[in-house]
Amino acid sequence: MNKPQRIAVCGVLVLSSYVVGFAQSPSVPSVTESPSENPLYLKVRLSDAVKVSKLHSADNVEGVLAQSVYSGDHELFPAGSHVHLIVSRLERRRRARNDHWPWVVQLFTPRHENSPAFQVGNILLPSGAEVPLKVSVLSVANSMEIEAGAKSSHTNATSGSTIALEAFEPTESLPQRDLTHALVDGQTTVAAGTQGKIVLLRDLSASKSRPGDTFQARLVEPVRVGSVVALPEGTLFQGKVEKNTPPRWLSRPGSLLVTFTGITLPGSSDVHPVQAAVAGAEIDRRSHTRIDPEGHMRGERPGAFWMVVNAGVAGGLAKEVDDATQLIVEAIVSTATDVSTGGGARIVGICASSLFMITRHGRDVVLPRFTEMKITFVRPASLAAIEPVSNAPRNDPVR
């Protein structure tokens, strides 16, 4: 390889390093909620022996319900019920974005992965009866729970993968749904400190979400006041992004603060004002996110592995820039030698590697669509009585 060719190759390497180094993370796609008729939310925990990435069409998958399944104010299937699924086909899905690896590792990570699709699932009730359901996959995760105020993000790690499913209830097999709410004296009050479990209906992140952005979440378990169901499953929560800080230079992490300002009961279009904050979330167990007591979600600072990988890339970049600078100077100045250009080229290489390290962004806060979250009512919420509704169409989308 002659000298001009070496110069061209080194120039391409340097340019590629800078382009990759300054590239931002891919955008979080905006998801529009679309209604579906009478959906149920099922969360199935698979055993450790089941490897989702190794499944094939027609494989049998066994698991248990990680939490009870509700329809309105009825519990349809108790937690721990056995679930049998059959893989109908494999779908190629875009891999969920996560920042648990440095960018240089993500560069070589496949952007898509094979995910199993199911059409029919069977749930074995404690009575021995088997209930067939039409199902579709919402998400597949290997997650852990984080709680507000916990010092470490690695708390309550679950065993095995979990699959979130949308299911459609067979009316001939299940109790008739009844969305009538038992309100005391026409009104009930949800006390401050009451918690609820919701699932997000769109993506959120510290890097892409902006203050004022609105989103929706769906209640997946009824909220009770004593023996009264104040908020049935399917209640829609209206959320708003209050504050965000994108990941910044010097490996400073991002942060995200969201609140919930209103609710819409199933079968109603009225929005009742509430004030609720994030109390916990289920996230990828490799993520590094924590929640402070005020519900502010923050990325943790990069760990030792993160820094070692980036330092290695910085060292390689310094060497390439050093060599490229020498070749360029020697090509321009006919009297230049390796000895005369070595010192200046080394300085240029050190500057390039230092710039690379300075411009490294910290960890993001990423909440994919269908992330499960716990919320806490910050203030008491009084709900006015509504007209009883029975078997009404639902306006609470899962998908």
Instruction: List C-alpha distances in Å: 274 to 64, 185, 194, 378.
Output: 34, 20, 12, 8
Residues 63, 48: contact at Cβ < 8 Å? no
DSSP conformation letters of 144-194:
EEEEBT-SSS-EEEPSS-EEEEEEE--TTTSPPPB-----GGGEEEEPTT-
Q: What pLDDT is recorded for position 258?
A: 96
pLDDT cut 70: percent of the chain above it: 74
Confidence grade of residue 24 (pLDDT, cut at 50, 70, 90) = very low
The tens digit of pLDDT for each residue in 215-242 reads 999 999 999 888 788 888 999 999 999 9
Confidence grade of residue 268 (pLDDT, cut at 50, 70, 90) = confident
Among 45-49, 132-136, 320-324, 395-399, top mean pLDDT goes to 132-136
Q: What pLDDT is recorded for position 373?
A: 94
DSSP conformation letters of 341-393:
HHHHHHHHHHHHHHHHHHT------EE-TT-EEEEEESS-EEEE-----BSPP
Instruction: List C-alpha distances in Å: 388 to 70, 74, 169, 186, 272.
Output: 19, 15, 21, 11, 17
> Is a pLDDT exceeding 60 seen at residue 29?
no
The tens digit of pLDDT for each residue in 58-74 reads 888 899 999 999 988 88
d(CA 258, CA 279): 11
> Is a pLDDT exceeding 70 seen at residue 149?
yes
d(CA 237, CA 36): 17
The tens digit of pLDDT for each residue in 311-369 reads 888 888 888 888 888 788 777 877 766 666 777 778 888 888 888 888 788 888 889 89
In order of their start, the domains of the chain are 37-173+185-302+362-384 (2.40.128.260), 304-358 (no CATH)
pTM more than 0.85? no
Burial call 244-262: b when 16+ CB within 10 Å, e when fewer = bbbbeeebbbbbbbbbbeb
